[in-house]
Structure 1
């Protein structure tokens, strides 16, 4: 329809244009041209009307097709809605039927419950009556018993309770004693197991410190330079380091003697640098010794830092780190103090883990337990109390402070890790070869060991071998039987354990052999 209107408008405009054109050229053109223009205009109008009619028919056809399509879709939608409504009505009817059935069942059940409730009420009444009769009979029975026994019910009850109480106390005491004994046996067994596992899981180096160090020389000619003119160089070294130098006893070597390993190390490094430099005189000696002392102080801090890193201990005060490094140059009964402290720390961590405690805290206490042995200045306090004082000064955990101070029973043990540190310290010091004894004490201990075995009847000889770690006992075959040999071995081991003090353990071996000797002539 819109295109038809457009074509009509175009025709009208063309007609107007023709009229104006005719007026413009009317004066010049003839009447024939005006007629021709009118004819063309009428032709254009007819064509426009024809096209408009065709477009109108096409649009009518399209409108009819669209109507048919929309009507079809509407019919389908109506059918679908009707179907859904039918299904919904069916479901509603089914629900109504179900509800009606349930209501009927519920009414029936309510009626049955009312019947049951009535029966129960009757039964309760019967039970109450019987209970009343029973109480009357019981009261009558109690009165008769009181009359026969000449006791009231309360008095009889009190006597019975007292009797039961006494019997229960006796049984409880017996049971308590049995439980305590069983717990003691299990505790001892578990403690031995934990200690043995801790020792087995820790591999420690056995380092024995001496009071002398040997400084090797390329030739004896260097000894003269070290001694100097009239011995001034050697006196300067001894005065600067506090170490005695022995130059005559050993060829191509100098013996450095001092109880302080730190002094010996300073003297050894200073000698090494002086010999490498070649300039040996008192002024140079003092300069090198002072420089070596400063460098060794830096090395001490580095050793302490490396130790705490390897053990996984964090947050340690710098001064405590320096003290830990300083332990590298100290010894206790010949045992290197730093090696002993590291071993104690590892043992503490393992034992604390086995007991379900904090292994890091136990390891920290184990490493620091002997820091009182390396004080910067002399004091009258014992090393345990001094170590606790230092740990408290530098902000250590109260449990660590108590473990340090109590590991030689000089303070009361207030935390669980304190006895762990004490036990691990003893384990580390008691390892075979860990500590050096005085020669006289060692010889006396060996003699006492042999004399103890020879005091038994039937013992012919006794030898302590392997530095006193094994005792071999030879018995006379005609005086001691095989079964008595087993008993003798056990008795000697028990006596050693109760009467002697020794590091590690001692193996007792009883040897009995029968010899038949004849001579062929």
Structure 2
């Protein structure tokens, strides 16, 4: 196309140039220029014509190539269509054969079904003739057999599920308790019934005794504590099973020794100041325990809680025990997904009744529950306090958690101790209780009273009686004895035959 345009432009230019040249008078030089221009125009015209022809040829070749490619593509498409038609024809033939086969199978199945129904009817008739039962009677008999077998099967399944559930529950409970005990690393606390007070010199012993013993008599009368002055160098001993009195006496005597003036009037003043100071210490101990647990208690409950600092049970400090129970109860509650704050409050206050049980009659659990109710604790916390020794029946999971935490804190090794005489008497009482049963031959307390092994007369007790005896002994121990933790009852029945070979 461009070649055609160039050719046209060249021709027009040549004609115009020839026309102009023909009309203008020319000199020789001009004629030479004109001739040269005409030659150049002819040359350009030939070049343009040649380029146009070449371009036309290229366009023709390109068009022919495109046409050929299109024809080849159409041929391939036609071949694919023919192949697809061939495949569809084969599939149609195959489907027709399958349809014929299915029709034949359906006819055969119908024939077999009719044959089966005929044979089943013949078998039923033959069974009825042989057994003498009608079809309905046979169905009822089979249903009874199936029902009986199903009952046995499901009974075994139910027993298996119950057994597995108990095992899993025991494992989970043991894991929760073990986790709570491991997470709480409390100290073992032991308390004594005496306190020692150091003296600057031996001459203070004479001052403490006073003229004709008036100072020591005044001191003992005001404090209710026995003051022992013996040969121990530079030391006197305060003896009392009442921790509060012993602490008042220790504070007062320490102040008297620091002051140096020891006479009845001064003793009375120091004792009064010691009581006031101890009251402040008690409130501070209660506030500290509540603060460590992140609890906000009524001021009266805080003061009563602090008094437990100077109260012991089997040598275990009651305030430390209450804090420990609170932590263990919190951990168990978190494991079970219930309110951990209520568990801490109930655990901390569960023995609050021991702070006033010498002033109020009744079990300390019920006294503590009444105090907690009086000072605004929630009903669930109050009931957990009342139920931790089963003075009332447990009603919630929190009640059981406090019981478990209290037992864990009291029963772990080293938490409590008792006098040797009381320990021996407890073991003797345990063995005597077991021997009181007629079929028992001998009983032995083991593992510091945590287990009792009972030997029975084999001729008086069968295996079933021995199993019942273990239950009866365990219940009798629960009802008649006081003991920390739990006691395992192990009943053994053994029959032995001996002969001599001569």
What range describes the TM-score normalised by the shorter chain of this pair? 0.5 to 0.7
CA distance in 2, matches of 1:502, 1:303: 27
Unaligned runs of 5+ in 2: 1-113, 431-446, 451-473, 489-502
Partner of 2:400: 419
Which residue of 158, 164, 183 maps to 1:201? 183
3-state SS of paired residue (2:232): coil
| Contact 2:228–2:238 under 8 Å retained in 1 | yes
Are residues 177 and 345 of structure 1, via their aligned partners in 2, closer, same or farther at CA, if it must alter by over 3 Å?
same
- Quote how far apart the aligned CAs of 1:379 are: 2.8
Which residue of 324, 329, 336 maps to 2:310? 329
- Quote how far apart the aligned CAs of 1:256 are: 0.4
| Contact 2:199–2:257 under 8 Å retained in 1 | no
- Quote how far apart the aligned CAs of 1:346 are: 0.8
3-state SS of paired residue (1:215): strand
- CA RMSD, aligned part only? 3.6
With normalisation by structure 2, the TM-score equals 0.57
Partner of 1:171: 153
Say yes or no: does 1:382 pair with 2:367.
Answer: no
Partner of 1:274: 256
Partner of 1:192: 174
| Contact 2:365–2:388 under 8 Å retained in 1 | yes
Q: Deviations over 1:130-155 (max 9, x none)?
A: xxxx9xx9xxx9xx99x9998697x8
3-state SS of paired residue (2:251): helix
Say yes or no: does 1:213 pair with 2:195.
Answer: yes
Say yes or no: does 1:353 pair with 2:331.
Answer: no
CA distance in 1, matches of 2:485, 2:425: 14
- Quote how far apart the aligned CAs of 1:279 are: 2.3
Report matched runs for 1:54-93 at 5 Å. none
Say yes or no: does 1:235 pair with 2:222.
Answer: no
- Quote how far apart the aligned CAs of 1:159 are: 6.8
CA distance in 1, matches of 2:247, 2:285: 14
CA distance in 1, matches of 2:449, 2:250: 36
Partner of 2:59: none
Unaligned runs of 5+ in 1: 1-133, 450-466, 471-497, 507-521
3-state SS of paired residue (1:290): helix
| Contact 2:409–2:415 under 8 Å retained in 1 | yes
CA distance in 1, matches of 2:428, 2:369: 40
3-state SS of paired residue (2:348): helix
| Contact 1:432–1:503 under 8 Å retained in 2 | no
| Contact 2:410–2:484 under 8 Å retained in 1 | no
CA distance in 1, matches of 2:287, 2:417: 29
CA distance in 1, matches of 2:217, 2:226: 9
Partner of 2:268: 286
Q: Deviations over 1:305-338 (max 9, x none)?
A: 1110111113x22211111111111111111111
Say yes or no: does 1:370 pair with 2:325.
Answer: no
Which residue of 342, 351, 372 maps to 2:323? 342
Which residue of 379, 388, 391 maps to 1:398? 379
- Quote how far apart the aligned CAs of 1:436 are: 1.5
3-state SS of paired residue (1:213): strand
Report matched runs for 1:12-91 at 5 Å. none
CA distance in 2, matches of 1:178, 1:359: 34
Partner of 2:236: 254
CA distance in 1, matches of 2:358, 2:312: 17
CA distance in 2, matches of 1:427, 1:248: 41
3-state SS of paired residue (2:195): strand
Q: Deviations over 1:409-453 (max 9, x none)?
A: 22100010111111111111122222112212445789999xxxx
Partner of 2:22: none
CA distance in 2, matches of 1:331, 1:190: 33
Say yes or no: does 1:303 pair with 2:285.
Answer: yes
- Quote how far apart the aligned CAs of 1:250 are: 2.1
Deviation larger for 276-285 or 250-259: 276-285
Partner of 2:442: none
Are residues 237 and 417 of structure 1, via their aligned partners in 2, closer, same or farther at CA, if it must alter by over 3 Å?
same
With normalisation by structure 1, the TM-score equals 0.55
CA distance in 2, matches of 1:204, 1:260: 25
Which residue of 206, 213, 219 maps to 1:224? 206
CA distance in 1, matches of 2:393, 2:418: 30
| Contact 2:322–2:347 under 8 Å retained in 1 | yes
- Quote how far apart the aligned CAs of 1:242 are: 0.8
Are residues 442 and 249 of structure 1, via their aligned partners in 2, closer, same or farther at CA, if it must alter by over 3 Å?
farther
Partner of 2:418: 437
| Contact 2:427–2:449 under 8 Å retained in 1 | no
| Contact 1:352–1:359 under 8 Å retained in 2 | yes
Are residues 503 and 414 of structure 1, via their aligned partners in 2, closer, same or farther at CA, if it must alter by over 3 Å?
closer
